[in-house]
């Protein structure tokens, strides 16, 4: 890595100082979610640094999801991220309720489609066999959180077409109305960046960071029930895994 020149060193230092100061103010609640930060000019004057340096510090905190910018309005303190444990097989509805948030969905489509290679492999069905695809925008307290696309094999789940999945839980319908028990799931997590579909659905900027979650859920006979791809907002979510050393 190139060595920094002596002139750059102090600015680098002051930028990190401001960033950590703001980080602490957010952590202690001195700065509250939704609160506007003073204008960049004011922060620059107050800390004796350039506006460029202030902007750099704020950009880091925006990238970390602690602040968000509203063009023309300023920079605000973000809501804390939802910390989602990854150990139990839970539904979106259960996840939001356990955090005191109101779950909701906006239906984007429910249709019968041919299984792609990927879907067929996950659901262990023949390529091009018919599957049910349910696409929903998942909301917490009315705010878009994730864009979800669920595939279920047909004819087993054909009855779902008649269900209103807008504001109800798929897992609840499966378990309580259809008598399908969900035993286990395998889930993959990877970073992704927002393309046009995610931008529109989640109301975020192109290129925003997302977490792509892929899940295959199985019944007690180990038959795949659903294959899901969900794009979660990277600025609103973090996942928690508890590890034990054997
Ligand atoms: C979660 C699951 C999804 C499941 C949904 C059911 C992931 C990636 N997705 O969003 O597999 O279909 O919950 O939610 O974890 P619901 O019962 O609230 O409709």
Q: Average per-residue pLDDT in the chain?
A: 91
CA dist 94 and 175 (Å) reads 14
Considering only CA atoms, which residue is closest to atom 13 of ligand 1? Answer: 91
pLDDT score of 1: 45
pLDDT > 90: what percent of the chain?
Answer: 72
pLDDT score of 13: 80
pLDDT score of 10: 64
Residue 213 has pLDDT above 80, yes or no: yes
pLDDT level of residue 93 (50, 70, 90 thresholds): very high
* Å from CA of 61 to ligand 1 middle: 30
* Å from CA of 246 to ligand 1 middle: 31
Region 195-224 average pLDDT: 93
Residue 4 has pLDDT above 90, yes or no: no
Q: By the 8 A CB rule, do 212 and 239 touch?
A: no
pLDDT level of residue 106 (50, 70, 90 thresholds): very high
Considering only CA atoms, which residue is closest to atom 6 of ligand 1? Answer: 91
* Å from CA of 92 to ligand 1 middle: 5
Q: By the 8 A CB rule, do 208 and 181 touch?
A: no
Region 146-172 average pLDDT: 94
- Summarize pLDDT for 49-83 with one digit per residue, the tens: 999 999 999 999 998 889 988 888 999 999 888 88
- SS3 labels along the chain: CCCCCCCHHHHHHHHHHHHHHHHHHHHHCCCCCCCECCCHHHHHHHHCCCHHHHHHHHHHHHHCCCEEEECCCEEEECCCCEEEECCCCCCHHHHHHCCCCCEEEEEEEEEEEECCHHHHHHHCCCCCCEEEEEEEEEEECCEEEEEEEEEEECCCCHHHHHCCCCCCCHHHHHHHHCCCCCCEEEEEEEEEECCHHHHHHHCCCCCCEEEEEEEEEECCCCCEEEEEEEEEECCCEEEECCCCCC
Residue 11 has pLDDT above 80, yes or no: no
> Among residues 49, 106, 164, which one has the least CA distance to residue 57?
49
In the block, which residue shows the tokens 């460029």? 52
pLDDT score of 9: 52
Ligand 1 pocket at CB < 6 A:
91-93, 148, 150, 169-172, 213, 215, 217, 226, 228, 230
Distance of CA 163 to the CA centre of its chain: 26
Substitution site in 170, 186, 233 for ligand 1 pocket (most atoms within 8 Å of beta carbon)? 170
130 DSSP β-pair partners: 114
Residue 170 has pLDDT above 50, yes or no: yes
Residue 125 has pLDDT above 90, yes or no: yes
- Summarize pLDDT for 234-244 with one digit per residue, the tens: 888 888 999 99
Residue 137 has pLDDT above 90, yes or no: yes
Least trusted range by pLDDT, from 63-72, 153-162, 191-200 = 63-72
CA dist 139 and 152 (Å) reads 22
């Amino acid at each position: 890595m190139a060595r920094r020149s002596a002139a750059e060193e102090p600015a680098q230092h002051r930028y990190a100082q401001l960033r950590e100061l703001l980080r602490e103010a957010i952590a202690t609640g001195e700065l509250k979610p939704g609160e506007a930060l003073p204008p960049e000019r004011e922060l620059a004057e107050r800390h004796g640094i350039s506006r460029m340096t202030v902007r750099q510090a704020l950009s880091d905190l925006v990238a970390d999801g602690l602040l968000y910018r509203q063009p023309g309005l300023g920079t605000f303190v973000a809501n804390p991220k939802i910390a989602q444990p990854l150990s139990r097989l839970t539904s979106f509805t259960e996840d939001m309720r356990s955090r005191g948030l109101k779950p909701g969905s906006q239906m984007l489509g429910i249709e019968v489609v041919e299984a792609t290679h990927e879907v067929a492999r996950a659901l262990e069905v023949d390529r091009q066999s018919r599957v049910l695809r349910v696409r929903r925008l998942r909301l917490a307290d009315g705010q878009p959180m994730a864009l979800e696309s669920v595939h279920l094999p047909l004819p087993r789940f054909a009855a779902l077409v008649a269900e209103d999945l807008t504001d109800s839980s798929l897992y609840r319908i499966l378990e309580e109305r259809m008598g399908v028990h969900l035993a286990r799931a395998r889930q993959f997590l990877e970073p992704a960046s927002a393309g046009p579909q995610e931008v529109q659905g989640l109301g975020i900027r192109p290129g925003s960071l997302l977490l792509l979650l892929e899940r295959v859920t199985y019944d007690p006979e180990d038959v795949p029930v659903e294959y899901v791809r969900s794009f979660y907002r990277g600025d609103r979510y973090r996942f928690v895994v508890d590890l034990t050393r054997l």
